[in-house]
Structure 1
Amino acid sequence: MVQTAATLSQTESPARRQTRRGLAGVWLEFLGSMNLAITLLVVVSIASVIGTVLPQNQAYTEYLIQFGPFWFEVFRLLNLYDVYSAWWFLAIMGFLVLSTGVCISRHIPSVWREITRYRTHVREQSLMALSQKRRWRLAEGPDDAENVAAAALQGHGFRTRTERRGDAVIVAGMKGAATRMGYVLTHVAVVVIALGALADGNIGLKIREMTGNLAVETRDLPLSQVPGDSWLPVGSGSFRGNVTIPEQSNSGVVFLQLRDGYVVQELPFEIVVEDFRIDHYPNGMPRSYESDLVLHDPALDEPIRQTISVNHPLTHRGHTIYQASFTDGGTQLDLTGHILDGSGQTLPIDGRVFEDMRLQLGGVERVLEINDFQLFNVNRDPRSVERTGARDEFVNVGPSFNYSLRDEAGQARDFHTYMAPVEVEERWYYLHGMRTDASQPFRYLHIPADENASMDTFMAFHQALHQRDRVRRAGQRAADAVLAQMGVANPDLASRVAGTTDDMVATLVEAGLGAVNARLEARLADASRPEMLRQFSQAVLQRTLFELYRESLATRRGVSPDQLQIGADEQAFFEDAVNAVSGVADYGAPIIFEIDHFNHRQATGLQITKAPGKNVVYAGSAMLVAGLFMLFYVSQRRVWAMVRPGEGGGSELIMAGVNQRSPEAFEQEFETIANAVDGQIGRPEAGSARTEDQ
């Protein structure tokens, strides 16, 4: 036979029921204890500080670079990269709701009694034991004395209640009961704030991920190729995400960063960016930037048009759109690629920022990845000190773009190229930066600009260095000239030196000046007079390079080399060109680019948030402020008046009060009430009176 629950309850021993009630009481005592509440609030405060100091919801790669592998993993295990949605933070908030709720339920009855009870059960001895008291013996009857006492209390804002106790009448007054409500309000505020935090804690998203209904996408895919299980529908709860929209483009989604990937959140409206504007300081730093947005919402008859800027967001249907950043929006670039194989060939390229193109260079396929375009590049003007004595003048050196060249093995080098020549120490150069790792600064190849502000003269000189016949002829002329200056006529020696010079030029083009000097030292290691031979070889090499430069320059100017006048500018250009040829060997790319034309297009970076618990938190914060104000600035005061018949007729009035929080202020208030009683009983209609202080 199966026992029912009622039967089991009846057969349970009294001792067991007492134990169960005792354990429940212990748990309730623990949940409602102040120590637990303070501990939880301290932990929440520490977590909030961490969430404020440590940027939240960034890409894992950024945290890895910032903290290193060890601390990155420690912080990841503690969920410090998304504190407000961490399981332990949400658990603490839930426990805080439970603890504070238990505390409220336990103390509200006593608080309510304290607010509503007037404590009319008082005796003369207890009143006379209070520090603030006054006694009057009146000629008037008890009814008049009762009216005087009640009027004095009510006139000073006290709520009163009158009750007869035997032959005495007790008029109990109470004021400032809101201080007790402050206690309740602060506790309720904590619950409300915690509930708001839970509402914004992405609990629904975590449940979807745990149940397998949501997958975090880690690949860099076009929006159309993101799988459906990485999408969140409209109304999925709170979120904070980012989206980049080029000018004259639109988007109806936002990307939420989750750990090492992202998910796509659909929006209930579509955002169109009509225009983006940016203003700069003289040093090139952004001063302000703003976007002209149009929101198309099916629920609206007309679209919303508004300009947003930093600290001036747009809010619609609980979604707040912030101006967060800016970037290039796919600028169109017309490029000319100069192939560095000595052929003099150029490669015209029409591309866009963020576009990848496959190039065949020297029989090897490479991928050109155009990464960014900068319209302004502001540097400190080196001539400002000489001109005005100021160091805060700046100059805009013009547009530049960043790109990468990736080989067949997937290895890439980053490059940074300026469109216009840049002045460096009173000389003008085309700057081509290169680095092998994103953590390194760019190292710049300085290609001298000719009198037409172009790279043509240098490219013609660089091409001549690859033409072996021209190099041999120039080397022969150089060797003859150097030997003639030395007074030596030895055709065989001149021929051998010319052959050596040909080899040095080839080494210069392939590996740079450092390799030339190294090979020269190795060749002269066993020579009997190495220093003289070194100077001789270097002189011949220098003369050979100059002969090739003069030929190239004469061809460009349409004159013969003998008719060409070499001045200081041409000599300086030659020296810069030789250094640039050596730098090309270390440049690490078979091609260099220059910008012929561009069509600039910008993109705005928007941060979009939806926080349904935000208003709840705001309401809880307002309640907390109000409750704290009541607790600290409102004090409860109680005043009692006891009226009873006098021994020889008339009546006797005893008035006493208490306020433990601000006794000095209450002393003045009580004196004011007593003076009001004096004024009432001192009127002619009140009759004569005699007062006595005790």
Structure 2
Amino acid sequence: MSLNSATPSSWKDLPRQYFQRELLPLLADLRLAIVLLLAIALFSISGTVIEQGQSLAFYQENYPESPALFGFLTWKVILAAGLDHVYRTWWFLALLILFGSSLIACTFTRQFPTLKAAQKWSYYSQLRQFEKLAMSAEVDAATLDGLEPLLRRKGYRLFREGDRLYARKGLVGRIGPIIVHASMILVLLGSIWGAMTGFFAQEMIPSGETFTIQNIFDAGPWAAPQIPKDWSVRVNRFWIDYTPEGNIDQFYSDLSVLDAAGQEVKRKTIHVNEPLRYRGVTLYQADWAIAAVRVQINNSPILQIPMGQLDTGGAGRLWGTWLPTKPDLSEGVSLIAKDLKGTVLVYDQDGQLISTVRAGMATEVNGVRLTIAELVGSTGLQIKADPGIPIVYTGFGLLMISVLMSYVSHSQVWALQQGKTLYVGGRTNRAQVAFEREVLDMLDALSAAPHPATAEA
């Protein structure tokens, strides 16, 4: 039918026909699926290599314009392309959706028809049909009645009509690929849902302080309901275990989750690889710092002086503060610490080291007695919420099961009785050698069975 002679009703069918004839085969094309999968893998690697959800200053410092990394990768390129939040960019989500559409198209155009065809059965009534099979044989003085129990013992399901027989097994192997596709679609849906509704935050909290999650670095457009507003977290204590050589062995945070009334609803001591989970939010132990030093000057009350991290040019981590030793602030000392072991270095105004003091000890500086009570640590927490994780885990669980199902061979056997001769043939979609050995064993058993006439004699 030409376009000029098309009726109004046929014009309405054109979009559907174009989709079925052009777009659907393109979406179901294996080559397109491979290209999309490679693109998703490539951009996922970039999201792993390039730090995600950092501040503008971080990218300007680590990806300067001169010299540009690889000659082109600068902070401007990263921000313009969305490489600072790869998994939430429109183009990455579009790749996931397109890949999922390709899987769905392949499932409905190939996998379901293949399963439907495998569920049907037909009988062979012509010898030339057996000649087309990869494996066929003829057995003299054998019957279908003798073949049936052998097939049943091998797990075949039998269909018989007169002198014709059809047997099959391993239909689950045809269902496996469909579940593989379904599980991959679940993983994609979980990833998209997590990207749209999850968030990532970082907090540095001193021991003894209570905080609510506020320092959010990265969040999806629908993440607001996931950010807790009716509960908070108290850092009961933070401490570090050191090895005999003085290196950090592990650092710990004793955390309490408090409800809106300030009552403790959950408590746990976390460390690296052992987080605290509450209402879909996970708190990981990620970093540490020195928040303050508690000191006493002569007989004064104990004062808590904040400490800040010093710029050492990459030579190590140091924290320091300045402590006045006179009321008019005309004199003072600098206090430096590098860990929470309790050792504090005391420097005068000229930068000369005048004393080394441990927690609980005192020293004389500028005519006063300075006592170091303790160093107060801060725990660095990474806080994440990803509502898509249960969906992703479900998809991966189904994927492992369905992959095992896909390895099951779908085997078919046909048989035709003509006089005293039995014609047998079969085929399988995988494990051809094992299938041939199985059929040959049945044929050997069939040939070795006594002929009915011989048994009567």
1:611 aligns to what?
386
Q: Distance in 1 between matches of 2:125 and 2:291?
A: 81
Equivalences for 1:487-526 in 2 at 5 Å? none
Corresponding residue to 1:371 among 305, 308, 314: 308
Corresponding residue to 1:257 among 213, 217, 221: 217
Please tell me whether the aligned partners of residues 290 and 377 of structure 2 are also in contact (alpha carbons under 8 angstroms). yes
1:67 aligns to what?
63
1:285 aligns to what?
247
Q: Distance in 2 between matches of 1:79 and 1:308?
A: 33
Q: 1:655 to 1:322 in 2, by over 3 A?
A: same
2:328 aligns to what?
none
Equivalences for 1:57-456 in 2 at 5 Å? 57-69=53-65, 71-121=74-124, 123-138=126-141, 145-164=143-162, 168-170=163-165, 172-202=166-196, 237-258=197-218, 265-297=227-259, 303-334=265-296, 350-353=303-306, 370-372=307-309, 401-403=319-321, 417-418=335-336, 431=347, 445-447=351-353
Does the residue aligned with 2:228 lie in a helix, a strand or coil?
strand
1:682 aligns to what?
450
Deviations 1:415-437 (A, max 9, x none): 974479xxxxxxxx96579xxxx
Q: Which runs of 5+ in 1 are unaligned?
A: 1-9, 140-144, 203-236, 337-347, 354-369, 380-398, 406-414, 421-428, 434-443, 460-592, 690-694
Q: 1:132 to 1:112 in 2, by over 3 A?
A: closer
Q: 1:306 to 1:26 in 2, by over 3 A?
A: same
Deviations 1:222-273 (A, max 9, x none): xxxxxxxxxxxxxxx32222223332332332431149xxx99325533222
Q: Distance in 1 between matches of 2:370 and 2:33?
A: 65
Structure 1 residue 642: Cα displacement = 1.8
Q: Distance in 2 between matches of 1:29 and 1:594?
A: 85
* Aligned residues between the structures: 411
Q: Distance in 1 between matches of 2:123 and 2:260?
A: 65
Q: 1:332 to 1:661 in 2, by over 3 A?
A: same
Q: 1:136 to 1:419 in 2, by over 3 A?
A: closer
1:44 aligns to what?
40
Please tell me whether the aligned partners of residues 176 and 637 of structure 1 are also in contact (alpha carbons under 8 angstroms). yes
Q: 1:108 to 1:94 in 2, by over 3 A?
A: same
2:30 aligns to what?
34
Equivalences for 1:573-592 in 2 at 5 Å? none
1:551 aligns to what?
none
Structure 1 residue 291: Cα displacement = 1.8
Q: Distance in 1 between matches of 2:139 and 2:284?
A: 70
Does the residue aligned with 2:42 lie in a helix, a strand or coil?
helix
2:326 aligns to what?
none
Q: 1:320 to 1:672 in 2, by over 3 A?
A: farther
Counterpart amino acid of 2:305?
Answer: R
Counterpart amino acid of 1:240?
Answer: F
2:399 aligns to what?
624
Deviations 1:67-117 (A, max 9, x none): 114601101111111111122111221222223222222224312223312
Q: 1:304 to 1:13 in 2, by over 3 A?
A: closer
Structure with higher helix content = 1
Deviations 1:547-585 (A, max 9, x none): xxxxxxxxxxxxxxxxxxxxxxxxxxxxxxxxxxxxxxx
2:414 aligns to what?
640
Does the residue aligned with 2:239 lie in a helix, a strand or coil?
strand
Does the residue aligned with 2:430 lie in a helix, a strand or coil?
coil
Q: Which runs of 5+ in 2 are unaligned?
A: 1-5, 69-73, 324-332, 339-344, 357-361
Does the residue aligned with 1:45 lie in a helix, a strand or coil?
helix
Q: 1:81 to 1:327 in 2, by over 3 A?
A: same
Please tell me whether the aligned partners of residues 207 and 237 of structure 2 are also in contact (alpha carbons under 8 angstroms). yes
Q: Distance in 1 between matches of 2:56 and 2:400?
A: 38
Does the residue aligned with 1:600 lie in a helix, a strand or coil?
strand
Does the residue aligned with 1:188 lie in a helix, a strand or coil?
helix
Counterpart amino acid of 1:626?
Answer: I
Q: 1:613 to 1:13 in 2, by over 3 A?
A: closer
Please tell me whether the aligned partners of residues 31 and 102 of structure 1 are also in contact (alpha carbons under 8 angstroms). yes
Of structures 1 and 2, the one with the larger relative CO (CA 8 A, separation 6+) is 1
Q: Distance in 2 between matches of 1:134 and 1:670?
A: 10
Please tell me whether the aligned partners of residues 291 and 308 of structure 2 are also in contact (alpha carbons under 8 angstroms). no
Q: Distance in 2 between matches of 1:61 and 1:682?
A: 89
Please tell me whether the aligned partners of residues 201 and 238 of structure 1 are also in contact (alpha carbons under 8 angstroms). yes
Q: Distance in 2 between matches of 1:449 and 1:329?
A: 21
Q: Distance in 1 between matches of 2:182 and 2:378?
A: 45
Larger Rg: 1 or 2? 1
TM-score norm. by structure 1 comes to: 0.52
Does the residue aligned with 1:160 lie in a helix, a strand or coil?
strand
2:3 aligns to what?
none
Please tell me whether the aligned partners of residues 273 and 293 of structure 1 are also in contact (alpha carbons under 8 angstroms). yes
Please tell me whether the aligned partners of residues 415 and 422 of structure 2 are also in contact (alpha carbons under 8 angstroms). yes
Q: 1:119 to 1:95 in 2, by over 3 A?
A: same
Please tell me whether the aligned partners of residues 290 and 319 of structure 2 are also in contact (alpha carbons under 8 angstroms). no
Q: 1:401 to 1:39 in 2, by over 3 A?
A: closer
Counterpart amino acid of 2:276?
Answer: L
Counterpart amino acid of 1:276?
Answer: F
Q: 1:152 to 1:283 in 2, by over 3 A?
A: same
Q: Distance in 2 between matches of 1:676 and 1:112?
A: 32
Is 1:652 aligned to residue 428 of structure 2?
no
Deviations 1:22-66 (A, max 9, x none): 422212222222222222111110111112222221222122111
Q: Distance in 1 between matches of 2:319 and 2:133?
A: 85
Please tell me whether the aligned partners of residues 372 and 403 of structure 1 are also in contact (alpha carbons under 8 angstroms). no
Over the matched positions of the two proteins, sequence identity in percent amounts to: 24
Does the residue aligned with 1:147 lie in a helix, a strand or coil?
helix
Q: Distance in 2 between matches of 1:298 and 1:115?
A: 60
Please tell me whether the aligned partners of residues 292 and 304 of structure 2 are also in contact (alpha carbons under 8 angstroms). no
Q: 1:240 to 1:447 in 2, by over 3 A?
A: closer
Q: Distance in 1 between matches of 2:154 and 2:94?
A: 49
Counterpart amino acid of 2:113?
Answer: S
Q: Distance in 2 between matches of 1:181 and 1:308?
A: 44
Q: Distance in 1 between matches of 2:417 and 2:245?
A: 83
1:23 aligns to what?
18
Does the residue aligned with 1:157 lie in a helix, a strand or coil?
coil
Does the residue aligned with 1:271 lie in a helix, a strand or coil?
strand
Root-mean-square deviation (CA, aligned residues, Å) is 3.9
TM-score norm. by structure 2 comes to: 0.77
2:327 aligns to what?
none
Please tell me whether the aligned partners of residues 417 and 432 of structure 1 are also in contact (alpha carbons under 8 angstroms). no
Please tell me whether the aligned partners of residues 286 and 380 of structure 2 are also in contact (alpha carbons under 8 angstroms). yes
Deviations 1:440-475 (A, max 9, x none): xxxx9445679x98666xx9xxxxxxxxxxxxxxxx
Q: Distance in 1 between matches of 2:125 and 2:41?
A: 46
Q: 1:430 to 1:277 in 2, by over 3 A?
A: closer
Q: Distance in 2 between matches of 1:149 and 1:101?
A: 41
Please tell me whether the aligned partners of residues 322 and 335 of structure 2 are also in contact (alpha carbons under 8 angstroms). no
Q: Distance in 2 between matches of 1:252 and 1:594?
A: 39
Q: 1:298 to 1:73 in 2, by over 3 A?
A: same
Does the residue aligned with 1:321 lie in a helix, a strand or coil?
strand
Structure 1 residue 613: Cα displacement = 0.9
Does the residue aligned with 1:655 lie in a helix, a strand or coil?
strand
Does the residue aligned with 1:253 lie in a helix, a strand or coil?
coil
Equivalences for 1:474-553 in 2 at 5 Å? none
